[in-house]
Amino acid sequence: MEPNIKNIAVLTSGGDAPGMNAAIRAVVRTGIYHGINMFGVMQGYQGLITDNIKPMDARSVSNILHLGGTILKTARCLEFKTDEGQQIAYNNLKKNDIDGLVVIGGDGTFTGAKRFSETFGVKVIGIPGTIDNDLVGSDFTLGYDTAINTVIEAIDKIRDTADAHDRLFFIEVMGRDSGCIALRSAIATGAEAVLLPERETSVTELIEKLALGAATKKSSSIVIVAEGHKQGGAYDIAKRVKETFDHYDTKVTILGHLQRGGSPSSFDRILGSRLGFAAVNALIAGKTEQMVGLKGNEIQMTSITEALTSHSFKLEPDLMEMTEVLSI
């Protein structure tokens, strides 16, 4: 395959996700294999504006597969949202003769990349790196599998103390717009209830469900709350439940950024490698404004525009029903 592109830069932007380093490694080494000069942009779009762009070789990405976070660092950059900021970023790309860009991140990252490409004609390929799993075009986004396993491990430990003390635990997990983490972790840990941004569940309905469990002699209950639930966060919901339902001693745990850290799972290491490899090959083939994703067990391309269109498609109806049936 003869490359029609000579210099590629890769960056990570927005929230970090386990597996990003595997993707960076694959991008850099695939490009070098094809004779392309590779660059790493430090601190996401901020690095494009400050010209914090560094040449990378095969050894630059040695021994990083097992690391969480991102060796390129990341930042949220308000200046890149402005016309002036994007012009500076484009000037710095041209100064370094970079004619292809791989961006690893979520919806905010892709929104910026789409506008950047449309305005300046920069060839851009996106890799979905977000633990929320909320981009159309990939069954799994980078970091989601690791985050789910982290949540499950934490909830299993909380269940032990909940059983020992007849406690009701409200556990808040990440998911401002997507309930993917909450839904799957609820099934995997046997949670008694799950509150999702995509589904209306009133506090009254929740209390009725918990009361039924208490009546059938459940010794503890776990309620998983996605941070974006319309009734509020775990603390607010727990307070309202406790006011009218005091069968259990009520506790709240916010897992927070614990979910983003840690060594990536084997799934995320392999996924990151596959997506990084595919992203560079897509640029070589002349593609732009596309996201590489995993559908079934195949790498497929989706336009960045389509990838940004929905947050709720991944909540499978059978999983939603299972949370009700299996928690009796």
Whether 176 has a binding-site annotation, put simply, is yes
Contact 130, 143 (CB under 8 A): yes
> 174: annotated binding-site residue?
yes
Residues in contact with 249: Cβ distance below 8 Å, sequence separation at least 6, in sequence order:
165, 166, 167, 168
254 labelled ligand-binding = no
Among 57, 63, 64, 47, which Cα is nearest to 11's? 47
Please check if 269 is assigned to a binding site.
no
- 251 assigned to a ligand binding site: yes
Q: What is the DSSP letter of 284?
A: H
φ, ψ of residue 41 in degrees (nearest 5): -100, 120
* Measured distance CA(15)–CA(73) in Å, rounded: 10
Residue 121 marked ligand-binding: no
Catalytic annotation, residues: 132
Known binder of ligand: residue 77?
A: yes
Q: Judge whether 287 is annotated as a binding position.
A: no
Instruction: Check the annotation: does 40 bind a ligand.
Output: no
Amino acid identity for residue 57 in this structure: D
- Residue in the structure block whose two tokens are 């593609």: 287
285 burial type by CB count under 10 A (0-12 exposed, 13-18 middle, 19+ buried): middle
Q: Is 274 annotated as a binding residue?
A: no
DSSP state of 61: G
* 106 annotated as ligand-binding: yes
The verdict on whether residue 190 carries a ligand-binding annotation is yes
Residues 113 and 45: beta-carbon distance below 8 Å? no
Give the chain's end-to-end CA distance (angstroms, integer). 57
Annotated binding site for substrate: 130-132, 167, 174-176, 227, 251, 257-260
| Annotated binding-site ranges | 15, 25-29, 76-77, 106-109, 130-132, 159, 167, 174-176, 190-192, 218-220, 227, 251, 257-260
Binding site for ATP, by residue number, is 15, 76-77, 106-109
Annotated binding site for ADP: 25-29, 159, 190-192, 218-220
Q: Which residues are annotated as a binding site for Mg(2+)?
A: 107
